[in-house]
Chains A and B, each alone.
Chain A
Amino acid sequence: MIALLKRDLWLAVRAGGGFGLGLAFFLIVVVLIPFGVGPDASVLEPIAPGILWVAALLACLLSLDRIFALDYEDGSLALLATSPLPLEGAALIKAIAHWLTTGLPLTLAAPMLGVLLHMNSEAYGYLFISLALGTPALSIIGTFGAALTVGLRRGGLLLSLLVLPLYVPTLVFGAEAVRRGAAGMDVTTPFVMLAGITAGAFALLPFASAAALRVNLR
């Protein structure tokens, strides 16, 4: 498992820009918003948490089809399926690798981009924690979507269509936590729910992903 994780991380960092691309996309979306709604701080401040969450979600979505596609094409996914490591474990590791290469950098970068959107200074900590809790769920749900569409030639658009509705609860609780934090309200419930979604998704979705992968490798 560790070897697979290391291999995936090296591939993401070294081979062709997949690593920085999500982060750059995140930056560009956040920069585009003030062009769209105007640079007024009083407009930007209340919507900043939501924008950062939606932008992080879209940046996450961008790199999903790379999770399995390359391995499927060159046959290493079939090798993984026949290895002693259960396919559920492989799906879990793939999701963790995806989070380490997209979710974690996004979480670290988000507070800095909050400055650009005049985000309320109290919200930075909440934004960081909610993204740290929520982006792993985005990765594991996305891994499931990628496993469903891995056999398709043009699965990218379909992947977004399948995965985005599944992202709704994570997005609602994540953005709600930051919004409540910025308003100085109690944030326990959304944070607990967010952590619950992440934990539940990590516990259950690898099985669904592995089932989908087995079908696609048949």
Chain B
Amino acid sequence: MSIWEYANPKKFMATTAPLIPWIFGGSMLLIAVGLLWGLFNTPAADQFEHSVKILFVHVPSALMAINGWMMMLVASLIWLIRRHHVSALAARAAAPIGAIMTVIALATGAIWGQPTWGTWWAWEPRLTSFLILFLFYIGYMALWTAIEDNDTAADLTSVLCIVGSVFAVLSRYAAMFWGKGLHQTATFSADRETNIDASFWWPAVISMLGFGLFFVALVLIRTNTHIRLRRADALEARARRAA
């Protein structure tokens, strides 16, 4: 019994399909609790007033935008090394979700930046690297759709994902040369440091967990969809050969 048994699409679907409603429901519950608590039951912060409450959407989506790419990187490596199709499909399934998370993070950041920084957008390291991450997501998805053969597409997008990861980090470092940004550095950490008040910490952690589970649920659903799509393709091809 090893984890690689789940690389069998049938086994994967049989295991994940019953789990999806629970994960999805759990994520919805956590997001609802986190957001309601965050929006209605936290005090207004000193310098931000009530605009600080967008944090409960902004931080989790930004977190999942980066972790989404990391997940794609791991899945791509598994595909390249062990040739498990489910892994490649999971990477493919995660890309649009990660891209949407990036857009949410950018949009909420802009809405938050307007009242606090007085500008929607600034060319500073964090914002710029997120925009570039979004471009990487788009390029990755475009490459998937452009190539007809499934295995070729999986191979090439995996290579792109690996190279893209390196350059995403490089771009972030390069953008730092424009000087210190407006964006504050990471405020959250697992050991609950003093940067943030306890009244904000719990709802934020809950909505981060909720977004994480939400991401997992969507990836599982989309992976199942892609497996079924590929089966349908195989059936069609077989029917065409028979005809």
Contacts of A158 in B (CB 8 A): 139, 142-143, 146
Chain B 167-188 near chain A by CB (<8 Å), digits 1 or 0 = 1001101110110000000000
- Determine the residue in chain B with the shortest Cβ distance to A218: B152
Q: Most chain-A Cβ atoms within 10 A of its Cβ — which of B162, B170, B171, B178?
A: B170
- B155 interface hit (Cβ, 8 Å): yes
CA distance A148 to B156 in the complex (A): 6
The reply to whether A164 and B135 form a contact with Cβ atoms under 8 Å apart is yes
- A161 interface hit (Cβ, 8 Å): yes
- B122 interface hit (Cβ, 8 Å): no
CA distance A161 to B142 in the complex (A): 8
Known A-B contacts A148-B143, A172-B174, A172-B177; the reply to A166 vs B163 at CB < 8 A is yes
Q: Most chain-A Cβ atoms within 10 A of its Cβ — which of B132, B139, B171?
A: B139
Q: Select A173's contact among B136, B138, B142, B174, beta carbons within 8 Å.
A: B174
Chain A 19-61 near chain B by CB (<8 Å), digits 1 or 0 = 0000000000000000000000000000000000000000000
Known A-B contacts A164-B135, A172-B177; the reply to A197 vs B159 at CB < 8 A is no
CA distance A162 to B164 in the complex (A): 9
Main secondary structure of the interface of A (DSSP, over half): helix
A-B contact count (CB 8 A): 75
- Determine the residue in chain B with the shortest Cβ distance to A157: B142
- A3 interface hit (Cβ, 8 Å): no
Contacts of A152 in B (CB 8 A): 146-147
- B160 interface hit (Cβ, 8 Å): yes
CA distance A189 to B155 in the complex (A): 36
Interface size class of B (residues with CB under 8 A): 20 to 34
Contacts of A218 in B (CB 8 A): 152
Q: Select A169's contact among B135, B143, B173, B178, beta carbons within 8 Å.
A: B173
Contacts of B160 in A (CB 8 A): 148, 162
- A18 interface hit (Cβ, 8 Å): no
Distance to closest chain A CB from B125 (angstroms) = 10
Contacts of A191 in B (CB 8 A): none
- A165 interface hit (Cβ, 8 Å): yes
Contacts of B138 in A (CB 8 A): 161
- A155 interface hit (Cβ, 8 Å): yes
> What are 25 A-B interface contacts by the 8 Å CB criterion?
A144-B163, A148-B156, A148-B159, A149-B146, A151-B152, A158-B139, A161-B139, A161-B142, A162-B142, A162-B160, A165-B135, A166-B167, A168-B170, A169-B167, A169-B171, A169-B174, A172-B174, A172-B177, A173-B177, A176-B177, A176-B178, A189-B177, A197-B170, A211-B155, A215-B152
